[in-house]
Chain A
Amino acid sequence: GDSVTQMEGPVTLSEEAFLTINCTYTATGYPSLFWYVQYPGEGLQLLLKATKADDKGSNKGFEATYRKETTSFHLEKGSVQVSDSAVYFCALSEIYGGATNKLIFGTGTLLAVQP
């Protein structure tokens, strides 16, 4: 079945460092790919998405490019801030028979940014 694998955390960085969180996927069809973020005490929020190969999703300085050839969707940010400290989830979605928004998530990666 479809699955998402992302790098284990925690990832600890100093402020202004470069961030990469790796995500790879396995899917039978042509999924859409997402990054969700969970700040402490809050729910999951959509950070960015890409719906087809070579699309780049971007938001709040974060970027991820849908790479079909490597089945990857790595999250990057050039200069992290303390406020970026959160858990980041990679996810995919396929439409099964035209039905629901069934997201398949990775395990999440905790990012801790130190001042």
Chain B
Amino acid sequence: EPEVTQTPSHQVTQMGQEVILRCVPISNHLYFYWYRQILGQKVEFLVSFYNNEISEKSEIFDDQFSVERPDGSNFTLKIRSTKLEDSAMYFCASSKLTGEASSPLHFGNGTRLTVT
């Protein structure tokens, strides 16, 4: 069964550094998402992406964050200047269609980001 793959599985970075988290969604999916989970807290929606543009973003997704689909297969999340509070597990997801009830999200295994 096709999977969403994320790399790396664990990233350690220093505060203030830029970090790029990478995802390869399922190939025939059209909608892409990033979620994150700070340790012990809820999984939170960050952003959704369709047709090469952001379709929705949360208040967490401020100017420090950006997403890109650079080459038709990868989907990246960039954090420009990391803060300690960005430490979390970041999940990428994709779906064929919109409307979760008919087109479930497929999640990757996550990238654990640790900011020191």
Contact = CB atoms under 8 A, between A and B. Distances in A.
Interface in B66-85: none
B108 A43 contact: yes
Contacts of A95: 98-99
B65 to A, nearest CB: 16
Interface residues of B, number: 29
Q: Which of B31, B50, B101 has most A Cβ within 10 Å?
A: B101
Interface string A27-43: 00000101010000111
Interface residues of A, number: 28
Interface of A: 4, 32, 34, 36, 41-46, 49, 51, 89, 91, 93, 95-96, 98-108
Interface of B: 4, 6, 31, 33, 35, 40-45, 48, 50, 55-56, 91, 93, 95, 98-101, 103-105, 107-110
In the complex, the 5 A-B pairs of residues with the closest C-beta atoms, listed nearest first: A100-B48, A105-B43, A93-B100, A44-B107, A43-B107
